[in-house]
């Protein structure tokens, strides 16, 4: 195994690189040297093998970017900004199609009214698409921070918490920028009707982008720090019980009850809901209306809170970032970690009674999904709430909101169907040794997906569609999404 030619060029320009290319894994492996601090006290720091310099945030970001570029599938087409460009063009085409209306308008007043109607139709579509795009971006934040394949490796390497945090925040910033670009491109067709109102849409996108880049990472890191601290306390109890330590270390102050590991997804989900509800409260401002609360003030508050929260996180989180990566990785792999796996709920017990020999694997899947993917329930609750609100309010043009909500729900349903067949939910080799048939295991996972879809999507979507004057389009959309999710659960992507 030799050095990658790119690494040689990088070394010529930037100095020695701490990575060697591994052609067998299409990735990189570290070549590091860990040394103690100059005074001999404190944790080891990561140094370049020949340069003797501590790894900085810029270097770690550059090496991480190099690794992601080498591991990327699809070449340039797989780049996040290329995908954002294509998604933005698709949203722009949808917005443009909604602005095309056929009316008889001859006087300036009639033309102005027709333009206002066309702009409103396009704005509603844009808002629905923007909320779905940023909801996905919000959900992806924990995966940029600590739910990553390399989190366990990074936690074991003697890298300072500052570079680890900066590299994670850089991934969040890059993802938020790509989403903001896609949503801003989607608003372009509205400029032919009103440039001023189009700029308001861009301001909305920029504010949501700040929340995705700054506010959500701060909330997710704070939640992970609480869980990591509670895991460390539980490890202390285990060490005492095993006789390794004689007594617990005395707490420095009164401590609140340890938070559940569900906080890893629940707190970011709650923060996402706050941001989305906040922008929906002032969405009338996009079409020239006057919401009850000043839209610029609300947007300024979201932006200001995002900046202040990340500044506070950047000042405090480096001390615990390594612990966060290590403990969350242990929880993901269910190794050397205290797992909070509660009993099945009443609904889950009722479903288990109906599925025969699939009841046992279904119970296992349901409990592990509730612990590992609490976002499925937080997002499901948000979908349920949005669809119920559509049904109660009966808007004049409900299809953009219903389309965006059901498409987002179907996409997440497909993702969850795949996760049921992967670690840490399913240990394929271990399950094959148990006296449970593979058909029962597959049926249990299909039933879980159907139950999630029925409770959070199917029932409220039926209510929303049947409450509209013309329910055919909504029912057709719901039927298509149901068939798609059912097919995804039967033939999952593993």
Q: What is the pLDDT of residues 402-431, one digit of tens each?
A: 988 998 899 899 999 999 998 878 988 888
Helix %, strand %, coil % of the chain (to 5):
70, 5, 25
**C-alpha distance from residue 32 to each of 48, 69, 113, 167 (Å):** 6, 21, 67, 18
Rounded CA separation 490/414 (Å): 10
Q: Is the pTM of this model over 0.85?
A: no
Q: Round the CA-based radius of gyration of the chain to a whole number and report it.
A: 25
Q: Give the residue extent of every domain in the chain.
A: 1-71, 80-340, 341-494
438 vs 372: which has the higher pLDDT:
438
Model confidence at 248, pLDDT cuts 50, 70, 90, reads low
303 vs 344: which has the higher pLDDT:
303
491 vs 77: which has the higher pLDDT:
491
Choose the weakest-confidence range: 20-29, 256-265, 469-478: 20-29
For the packed helices 216-241 and 161-186, what is the interaxial angle rounded to 10 degrees? Answer: 140
Q: Which residues lie below 8 Å from residue 13, measured CB to CB, with a gap of 6+? A: none
pLDDT at 257: 47
Model confidence at 33, pLDDT cuts 50, 70, 90, reads very low
pLDDT over threshold 70, residue 55: yes
130 vs 153: which has the higher pLDDT:
130
pLDDT over threshold 80, residue 287: yes
What is the maximum alpha-carbon separation in the chain? 89
Joined tokens for residue 464: 């929303």
* CA 258 to centroid of chain Cα atoms: 24
Model confidence at 191, pLDDT cuts 50, 70, 90, reads very high
pLDDT at 316: 86
pLDDT over threshold 90, residue 79: no
| Residue 184, Cβ density class (10 Å: 0-12 exposed, 13-18 middle, ≥19 buried) | buried
Rounded CA separation 48/338 (Å): 36
pLDDT at 476: 94
pLDDT over threshold 60, residue 138: yes
146 vs 128: which has the higher pLDDT:
128
Joined tokens for residue 110: 């009639």
Mean pLDDT of the chain: 81
Rounded to an integer, the average pLDDT of 77-92 is 90
Model confidence at 277, pLDDT cuts 50, 70, 90, reads confident
> How many other C-beta atoms are found inside a 10 Å radius of the C-beta of residue 468?
19
Residue given tokens 């809901």 in the structure block = 273
Spatial contact of 449 and 415, defined as CB atoms under 8 Å apart? no
pLDDT over threshold 70, residue 249: no
322 vs 355: which has the higher pLDDT:
355
């Amino acid at each position: 195994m030799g050095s990658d030619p790119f690494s040689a060029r990088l070394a010529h320009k930037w100095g020695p690189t701490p990575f060697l290319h591994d052609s067998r894994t299409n990735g990189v492996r570290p070549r590091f040297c860990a040394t103690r601090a100059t005074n001999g006290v404190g944790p080891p720091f990561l140094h370049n093998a020949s340069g003797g310099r501590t790894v900085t945030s810029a270097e770690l970001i550059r090496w991480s970017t190099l690794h992601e570029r080498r591991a990327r599938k699809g070449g340039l087409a797989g780049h996040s900004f290329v995908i954002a460009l294509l998604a933005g063009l698709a949203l722009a085409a949808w917005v443009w199609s909604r602005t095309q209306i056929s009316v008889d308008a001859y006087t300036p007043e009639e033309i102005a009214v027709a333009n206002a109607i066309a702009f409103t139709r396009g704005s509603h579509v844009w808002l629905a698409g923007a909320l779905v795009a940023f909801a996905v971006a919000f959900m992806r934040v924990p995966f940029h921070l600590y739910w990553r394949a390399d989190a366990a490796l990074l936690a074991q390497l003697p890298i300072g918490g500052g570079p680890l945090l900066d590299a994670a925040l850089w991934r969040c910033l890059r993802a938020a920028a790509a989403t903001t670009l896609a949503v801003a491109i989607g608003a372009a067709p509205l400029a032919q009707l009103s440039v001023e109102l189009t700029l308001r849409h861009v301001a909305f996108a920029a504010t949501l982008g700040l929340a995705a880049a700054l506010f959500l990472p701060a909330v997710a890191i704070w939640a992970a720090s609480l869980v990591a601290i509670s895991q460390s306390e539980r490890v202390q109890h285990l060490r005492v019980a095993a006789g390794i330590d004689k007594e617990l270390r005395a707490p420095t102050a009164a401590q609140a009850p340890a938070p559940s590991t569900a906080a890893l997804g629940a707190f970011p989900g709650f923060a996402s809901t706050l941001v989305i509800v906040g922008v929906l409260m002032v969405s009338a401002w996009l079409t020239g209306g006057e919401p009850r609360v000043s839209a610029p003030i609300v947007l300024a508050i979201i932006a200001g809170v995002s900046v202040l929260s990340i500044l506070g996180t950047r000042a405090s989180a480096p001390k615990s970032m390594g612990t966060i990566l290590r403990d969350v990785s242990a929880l993901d792999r269910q190794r050397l970690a205290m797992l909070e796996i509660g009993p099945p709920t009443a609904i889950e017990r009722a479903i288990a009674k109906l599925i025969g020999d699939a009841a046992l694997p279904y119970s296992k899947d349901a409990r592990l999904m509730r612990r590992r993917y609490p976002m499925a329930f937080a997002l499901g609750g948000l979908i349920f709430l949005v669809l119920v609100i559509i049904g109660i309010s009966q808007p004049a043009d409900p299809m953009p909101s219903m389309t965006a909500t059901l498409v987002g729900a179907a996409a997440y349903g497909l993702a969850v169907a795949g996760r049921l067949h992967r670690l840490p939910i399913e240990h394929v080799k271990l399950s094959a040794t148990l006296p449970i048939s593979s058909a029962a295991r597959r049926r249990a996972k299909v039933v879980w997906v159907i139950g999630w879809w029925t409770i959070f999507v199917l029932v409220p979507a039926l209510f929303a569609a049947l409450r509209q004057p013309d329910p055919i389009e909504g029912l057709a959309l719901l039927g298509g999404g149901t068939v798609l999710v059912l097919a995804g659960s039967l033939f999952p992507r593993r």
